[in-house]
């Protein structure tokens, strides 16, 4: 099959799809990813085809509006308010995204489109091309169940009707927010203004859904349809044997296991002030630490660190995390997954989006303390969280047991098998 993957966002929104693409290519499929140009070399270095998309969303995240949004959109409803407030500035960006992703889809002529939900218009592109599409995502947000509410909603003791209703709210918001951009594109393509029913193909068959998280972290609901599945995480390990800098090797050897602290590519309003609070919190905790600057999450260049702390740009999580005592990070899905797989106690300090959700999940699994929102992060509460986590035998034991379960899962293989099973016959009939 010719398979096109559409995704947009930070590295955490791209890396799992590269892992999935590699698995699909190994299974004999022709796969390309359309995502922001900043990730082109990252995609192609793994032998995956690349189709271009502008870097508008990355530029927005680095703007004053973007930084403020990252520190104030702490739940689904604040995200909706922020979206409404920023809509005049986002309108042009979203229209360009739809048009450029369509150009990629039209040029590639896929049999199947796999899409991140921020890739607005994917279902409509599939309708225009006469191909199939499937949601490939990492949050329990779009496939209704009576067992739990959708991501972003509180767990209330109201029963199955409430839980299913939350997915209808997500449906309404999703259709409303993305529809205005797709409507213009559909008109330009000479298509009906009326879109197909929510999560349905033009012929009425359901759109499949692959959820890229561990069933040991969020179990698959018993009332899900056959076209939806929890595959397990899509891990992308280091391309080759990682050779760490001698400074990092010596730091790991010369004392008790350190903690890891890093916030990836999430900037916030004042990275320097945040970094100062983090350094002081680590100092108060009395532990050793490796601080990763990442893609701007920590501003470490302005500080002279004590001997108990080491600054690095980055290191592969699959190499570093098994060598540390705990991980402190923003709660992105990929970083959370890497820490859990390594069996690490996890302290999440979320900014926005899905990060508070993963912080709550980590706490409920008893592999870490309650999350500390970035806007409430102080040296004192960070130090207290680090000390309590490192001193807790139960947290360490729970994290180790969960890590073993996740390491025995085969998320990419499960996803590839599901895709082959679910779509091969459809594509063969299309070719005839």
Which of 81, 116, 112 lies closest to 9, judged by CA?
116
Domains of the chain: residue spans and CATH: 2-233+410-431 (3.40.50.2000), 246-407 (3.40.50.2000)
CB-CB contact of 221 with 240 (8 Å)? no
CB-CB contact of 288 with 259 (8 Å)? yes
Which of 3, 5, 17 lies closest to 334, judged by CA?
17
Q: How many CA atoms lie within 13 A of 44 on its CB side?
A: 9
* β-bridge mates for residue 132, sequence order: 112
**Residue 260 has which token pair?**
């890891």
Per residue of the chain (432 residues), give pLDDT as tens: 999 999 998 888 999 999 999 999 999 999 999 999 999 999 999 999 999 998 877 776 666 655 555 555 555 555 555 555 666 667 778 889 999 999 999 999 999 999 998 899 999 999 999 999 999 999 988 999 999 999 888 889 899 999 999 999 998 888 887 788 898 899 999 998 888 888 899 899 999 999 999 999 999 999 999 999 999 999 998 777 788 899 999 999 999 999 999 987 655 567 788 889 999 999 999 999 999 986 656 777 777 899 999 999 888 999 999 999 999 999 989 999 999 999 999 999 998 888 999 999 999 999 999 999 988 999 999 999 999 999 999 999 999 999 999 999 999 999 999 999 999 766 555 554
CB-CB contact of 314 with 294 (8 Å)? yes
What is the C-alpha to C-alpha distance for residues 21 and 27, in angstroms, rounded to an integer?
Answer: 10
* C-alpha distances in Å from residue 316, one per residue of 11, 236, 244, 309, 335: 13, 10, 9, 19, 11
What is the C-alpha to C-alpha distance for residues 188 and 99, in angstroms, rounded to an integer?
Answer: 10
* C-alpha distances in Å from residue 256, one per residue of 37, 251, 302, 321, 344: 41, 10, 26, 14, 15
pLDDT at 432: 47
* C-alpha distances in Å from residue 113, one per residue of 12, 104, 202, 431: 20, 11, 14, 16
pTM of the entire predicted model? 0.89
Helix, strand, or coil (residue 113): strand
CB-CB contact of 97 with 379 (8 Å)? no
């Amino acid at each position: 099959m010719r398979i096109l993957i559409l995704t947009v966002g930070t590295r955490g929104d791209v890396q799992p799809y590269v892992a999935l693409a590699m698995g699909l290519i190994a299974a004999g499929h022709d796969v390309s990813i359309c995502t922001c140009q900043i990730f082109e070399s990252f995609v192609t270095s793994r032998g995956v085809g690349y189709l271009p998309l502008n870097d508008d969303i990355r530029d927005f995240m680095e703007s004053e509006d973007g930084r403020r949004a990252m520190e104030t959109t702490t739940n689904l409803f604040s995200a909706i308010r922020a979206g409404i407030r920023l809509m005049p500035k986002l309108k042009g960006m979203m229209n360009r995204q739809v048009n450029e992703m369509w150009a990629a889809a039209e040029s590639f002529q896929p049999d199947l489109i796999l899409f991140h939900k921020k890739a607005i218009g994917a279902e409509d592109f599939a309708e225009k091309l006469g191909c199939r599409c499937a949601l490939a995502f990492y949050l329990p947000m779009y496939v209704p169940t009576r067992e739990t509410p959708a991501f972003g909603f509180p767990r209330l003791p109201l029963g199955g009707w409430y839980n299913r209703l939350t997915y209808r709210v997500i449906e309404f918001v999703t259709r409303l927010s993305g529809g205005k951009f797709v409507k213009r594109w559909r008109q330009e393509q000479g298509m009906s203004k009326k879109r197909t029913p929510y999560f349905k193909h033009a012929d009425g068959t359901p759109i499949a859904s692959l959820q890229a998280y561990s069933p040991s972290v969020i179990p698959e609901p018993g009332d899900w349809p056959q076209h939806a599945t929890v595959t397990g995480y899509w891990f992308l390990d280091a391309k080759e044997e990682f050779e760490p800098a001698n400074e990092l090797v010596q730091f790991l050897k010369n004392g008790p296991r350190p903690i890891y602290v890093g916030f990836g590519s999430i900037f916030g309003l004042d990275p320097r002030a945040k970094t100062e609070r983090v350094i002081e919190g680590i100092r108060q905790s009395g532990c050793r630490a490796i601080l990763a600057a990442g893609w701007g999450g920590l501003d470490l260049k302005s500080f002279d660190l004590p001997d108990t702390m080491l600054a690095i740009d980055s290191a592969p999580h699959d190499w570093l995390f098994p060598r540390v005592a705990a991980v402190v990070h923003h709660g992105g899905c990929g970083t959370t997954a890497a820490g859990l797989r390594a069996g690490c106690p996890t302290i999440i300090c979320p900014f926005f989006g899905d990060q508070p959700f993963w912080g709550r999940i980590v706490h409920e699994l008893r592999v870490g303390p309650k999350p500390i929102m970035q806007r409430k992060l102080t040296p004192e509460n960070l130090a207290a969280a680090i000390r309590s986590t490192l001193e807790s035998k139960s947290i360490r034991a729970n994290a180790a047991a969960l890590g073993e379960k996740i390491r025995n899962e085969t998320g990419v293989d499960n996803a590839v098998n599901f895709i082959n099973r679910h779509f091969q016959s459809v594509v063969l009939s299309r070719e005839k």
